[in-house]
Structure 1
Amino acid sequence: MRKFIASLLVMSFVGCSASVLAKEENPFITSREIDLIKLLPPPPANDSLQTKEELREILALQASRTPEMVARSQADATENIWRFADVMGVRFKREQLPAFAKFFERVEASEGAVVDTYKDVWKRPRPYLYSSEVKPVVKMSHSGSYPSGHATGGTLMGIVLANMVPEKRAEIMARAAEYANNRVIGGVHYRSDIEAGRIAGTVIAARLQARDDFNMSFEAARKELRNVLELSPEPVGSK
């Protein structure tokens, strides 16, 4: 009997651990909590004047982009918080920030859990599917073009990161804007996709800040980050 009870306890512990792990890997928020149809205008129609103007912008960038611009857009095709390393400095590394890394995995997952649903609703064709003149230099995607997931995620990550390190807010948000714009340079998004993504990212960030589970994880990640970056526990003038 004692062995049986002990076995049950072990199984229970393992089950609880797996449950906690699964919960940690879940997004903080999904499309069930945020209705982008109510928050965003529909994408421009394929044959609209706006789409044609946005296509001209993509083709103009395609003609003028330098090898450095191409390399930057290709590097920014990766969706994670570590793309902000050039702003945050040499200490900004995954191996030094385990709690921070786990936290931002959930933040990043939240973008997809919200945006992917509405990409499937609007089904806007990517620029290279609309015009054979568009020659992407980054990996092509089968998902809808509107809104941009990268612009949403970059804006969301930028806002959250800037709230942790407000001393670098201007640089962080400039990097988030560049990250989003590189999707147009890369030939895989229209300008209106980017603008809608920035709105979506801002809305998701605001909604997350109202959640207790987010705020608790945010505080632990913020503390770890500021310690690793050798910043004061609280920014000067924050209180």
Structure 2
Amino acid sequence: MKFSLSAAMLAVALLASACSTATRTVAPISAAEVGEVRAGSGYLKGYLAPAELPDSLALLPPPPAEGSAALAADAATFRTLTALQGTPRGALAVQDANLRFPKAAETFSCALGLPISEEATPNLNMLLRRTLTDAGIATYKAKDKYQRTRPFVVFKAPSCTPREEAALAKDGSYPSGHSAAGWAWAMVLTEVAPERSDALLQRGRAFSQSRGICGVHWQSDIEAGRLIGAATVARLHANPVFNAQVDAARLEVARARAQGSTPGRDCAAEAAALGSSSMLAP
């Protein structure tokens, strides 16, 4: 029996498809399957092993030295940003301080234009939970080395999260873990929904600036955190489970848009708060 060229090509395509299906990476959406970093912590394990994380100590310069122009600029920005405490933008900064899920999943819902939750978008929700851990832990080589004192401690000023001040005072300020996570989230979300890239990146920038408004990070901490967030996402692209989860999240987003889903958050109030401070946040 003779095969035509088209039949042979079809056979090869079907075989390739079967092999692809058989070897396709499955990304878990169950927190129980992924497991926590520490039992009872609520933070899930990341995608990356410790040895795979970017080296923040190698990637970052030391924080600004005493008496330097850079430190003076940090202090000036501290005064500018903390003046927003007590305003609607300050209230948003308080919300941004919360990295606990399920609440933290809502942070980018307005920028995405869709609700984000374990129920509505389980793969997207898992992406945020696991990249939070990867980006946050990646900051600790530099944090532990420099042990930079946080600005609210230096200036004996109130932060916007007083219940966290005791713990924050013991944790190094440089680089900002929140900023690393927020920028990593923004970058991952632009891959899931590239048509919303500008809004997502703007929200990621604002999320990191919230740490300056709260008085718990210097501007140089925030900028260094964004770099580590970007480095973490770059490394994540070599992880097959992460890539599979991104692919699955894209399908969730497309399905949610087709269904006409909308964020369960006051997006007009959020936009107003962010717009009122856009010229003040460097």
**Does TM, scored on the shorter chain, surpass 0.5?**
yes
Q: Which residue of 2 aligns with 1:222?
A: 250
Q: State TM-score, norm by structure 1.
A: 0.80
Q: Which residue of 2 aligns with 1:48?
A: 68
1:163 is aligned with what amino acid? E
CA RMSD, Structure 1 to Structure 2 (Å): 2.5
1:27 is aligned with what amino acid? G
Moved more, 21-30 or 37-46: 21-30
The 3-state SS of whatever aligns with 2:220 is helix
Q: Which residue of 2 aligns with 1:26?
A: 45
Equivalent of 2:185 in 142, 152, 157: 157
Confirm or deny: 8 A CA contact 2:152 2:158 kept in the other structure.
yes
Find the aligned partners of 2:135 and 2:84 in 1 and give their Cα distance: 31
C-alpha spacing 1:30/1:190, structure 2 compared with 1 (3 Å): farther
Q: Which residue of 2 aligns with 1:71?
A: 91
Partner deviation per Cα, 1:179-236 (whole Å, 9 max, x = no partner): 01111111111110011011111111111012212112221222222212328xxxxx
Confirm or deny: 8 A CA contact 1:115 1:149 kept in the other structure.
yes
How many Å apart are 1:66 and its aligned residue? 5.1
Higher helix share: 1
1:136 is aligned with what amino acid? S
Find the aligned partners of 2:231 and 2:110 in 1 and give their Cα distance: 26
The 3-state SS of whatever aligns with 2:200 is helix
Superposition pairs of residues 118-133 of structure 1, within 5 angstroms:
118-132=142-156
User: Is 1:61 aligned with 2:81?
Assistant: yes
How many Å apart are 1:46 and its aligned residue? 4.1
Confirm or deny: 8 A CA contact 1:156 1:205 kept in the other structure.
yes
2:198 is aligned with what amino acid? A
1:48 is aligned with what amino acid? S
Confirm or deny: 8 A CA contact 1:31 1:115 kept in the other structure.
no
Moved more, 46-55 or 162-171: 46-55
Moved more, 206-215 or 112-121: 112-121
> After TM superposition, which residue ranges in structure 1, 4 or more long, deviate above 6 angstroms?
none
Where in structure 1 are there 5+ consecutive unaligned residues? Answer: 1-16, 232-239
C-alpha spacing 1:53/1:38, structure 2 compared with 1 (3 Å): same
The 3-state SS of whatever aligns with 2:233 is helix
C-alpha spacing 1:49/1:23, structure 2 compared with 1 (3 Å): closer
Confirm or deny: 8 A CA contact 1:30 1:113 kept in the other structure.
no
Q: State TM-score, norm by structure 2.
A: 0.69
Find the aligned partners of 1:21 and 1:91 in 2 and give their Cα distance: 23
Confirm or deny: 8 A CA contact 2:135 2:181 kept in the other structure.
yes
Paired residues, number: 214
